[in-house]
Amino acid sequence: MDLGFDPEVAVRRLRRVDPVLAKVIKKAGPFTHRPEKIQSPFQALLRAIVYQQLSGKAAATIFGRVSSLCCPGRARLRPEAILDATEERLRAAGLSRGKILAVKDLAAKTLDGTVPTLARLKKMDDEEIVERLILVRGIGRWSVEMLLMFRLGRPDVLPTTDFGVRTGFMLTYGTAELPNHQQISEHGERWRPYRSVASWYMWRAVDLSRSEGKAKLVLPVASD
């Protein structure tokens, strides 16, 4: 899936408006993130719920079990299948009681239209999407922000509660402690309309500090 903006234009603007961030950009190199393909908001949010507070490997195993249970032989997991699955079978697949309630609610809200279709989602603005999707049990603002950035490729998202972004900000700007929401939001005003790109470089700042110039991917971390 392609970005809906020119990353080179975004990087040039960020370097111009924020000389401190420009130093991180110079070390980290070009903005290389590209959105993952999204089949449907339902599947993306289902995956987000399953993966919450689990390691990638454990979450992938459970997600695979749920998919096999609810849609054997099919490429796309449908909300009807989640609603039809019993709690016992979902528990056997590895979902906690809380996550079962969440995925059932997600399925119901997908069918009643609370969760928009992908076509509709692409026409909605960021805040409208946040307000709609946090109505789903187990989905908070951070999860929607990750959807906006990593699935929809939105350019101007600033996940101020993300631990990686907060840590990168502290490292980049030399704050004595992790910054709060207000500090990042206020500074982030200069990054508009490319706050997603600036956030990506906050994660890269953490990479650089850990590997002394040889960056490796740091995943966003937060909890809804």
Mind telling me the catalytic residues? Answer: 162
**Which of these, 71, 135, 70, lies nearest to 108 by C-alpha position?**
135
- Could you give the angle at the alpha carbon of 186 between the alpha carbons of 146 and 137, nearest 5°? 30
143 contacts 203 by C-beta, under 8 angstroms: no
Long-range contacts at 217-220 (CB < 8 A, ≥ 24 apart): 218/164, 219/56, 219/164, 220/146, 220/159, 220/162, 220/163, 220/164, 220/165
Q: Tokens in use for 177?
A: 């402690």
Distances (CA, A) of 67 to 50, 78, 88, 90, 172: 11, 9, 15, 10, 41
Show Cβ contacts of residue 63 under 8 Å, excluding neighbours closer than 6 positions.
46, 47, 50, 51
Alpha carbons 224 and 221: distance in angstroms, whole number: 10
- Distance separating alpha carbons of residues 198 and 205, to the nearest angstrom: 10
Query: Could you tell me how far CA 193 lies from the centroid of its own chain?
Result: 18
Residues 25 and 11 sit within 8 Å (Cβ to Cβ):
yes
